[in-house]
Amino acid sequence: MHLLNPFKLDEKYQLIYNQASLNDNEDKRQYNIILGKKIFVLQKVFPTLFGKEHIPGFQIFQIELPLIASTWLTDTIEHKFWVSAAQGGLPTGTYSYKEEVNGEKLALYREMNVGAKNQKGFRLTNFSRPSRIYDDDNFQDFFLTDIMLLDGGLLNALKKI
C-alpha cells in the first residue's frame, strides 16, 4: 500500500469521514476516514508548510488498520481509558494498551499535548505495517485528539465502520 490521495481516490476506496480540525493550532487540517475492502485508513491532510510534499501541495499522515480494529479502537477508548478502574477501565496509572487485532499488533497510548499544549488525546500505533512516510520506521503512528473524537464526530464515525 501507499499514501492515499483523498482528492483522487481509486474506486476501491471510499471517503466516509472528512472533518476540518477543531483546534485553532491546526488551521486548514483535515481528518479523513477512508474505507477499503479489508482495511480502513485514518488520515490527517494539511497544506505543505515545509518539508516534502506527499501529494501536490499537501502532506499526509496516515495509518492503516484492519476493519475490525474500528471496534477495538472505540471500545478501548470508551471502556478502558475513559472509565475508572472501579468501573472496569484500565488500572490507575496505566497509559497504554496493546493487543493483537486480526493478526496486527496495535497499541493505544493516552497522551497530553496532542495537537496543542495541554490537549488530551491518543497515539495509535500499528506495529505490523511500515510507515508510508519515513523509510526507517517499520511502524505507523497516528494522533487523535479528544476534541476530534468527541466534538468532531470522529468517534461516532469509527463506530459506523
| Number of other residues whose CB lies within 10 A of the CB of residue 145 | 23
Residue 2 in domain? no
- Cell numbers describing residue 29: 487540517
Given a contact cutoff of 8 angstroms between Cβ atoms, the answer to whether 18 and 32 are in contact is yes
Q: What is the pLDDT of residues 124-135, one digit of tens each?
A: 999 999 999 888
Rg (CA), the chain: 15
Q: Report pLDDT for 49.
A: 81
| Lookup: cell for 4 | 492515499
Whether residue 44 lies inside any domain: the answer is yes
| pLDDT of 29 above 90 | no
Whichever domain contains 86, its CATH number is 3.30.2450
Counting the structural domains of the chain, the total is 1
Pairing of strands 14-20, 30-35: antiparallel
C-beta neighbour count of 97 within 10 angstroms = 17
Judge residue 118's burial from the number of C-beta atoms within 10 Å of its C-beta, 0-12 exposed, 13-18 middle, 19 or more buried.
Answer: exposed
Q: Is residue 3 part of a domain?
A: no
Look up the domain containing 24 and give its range.
Answer: 14-159
Confidence class for position 25, pLDDT limits 50, 70, 90: low
| Total-model pTM | 0.92
* Tens-digit pLDDT profile for residues 50-73: 888 999 999 999 999 999 999 999
Q: What is the mean pLDDT of residues 1-18?
A: 94
**Inside any domain, residue 56:** yes
Distances in Å between the alpha carbon of 8 and those of 12, 14, 96, 141? 11, 10, 35, 23
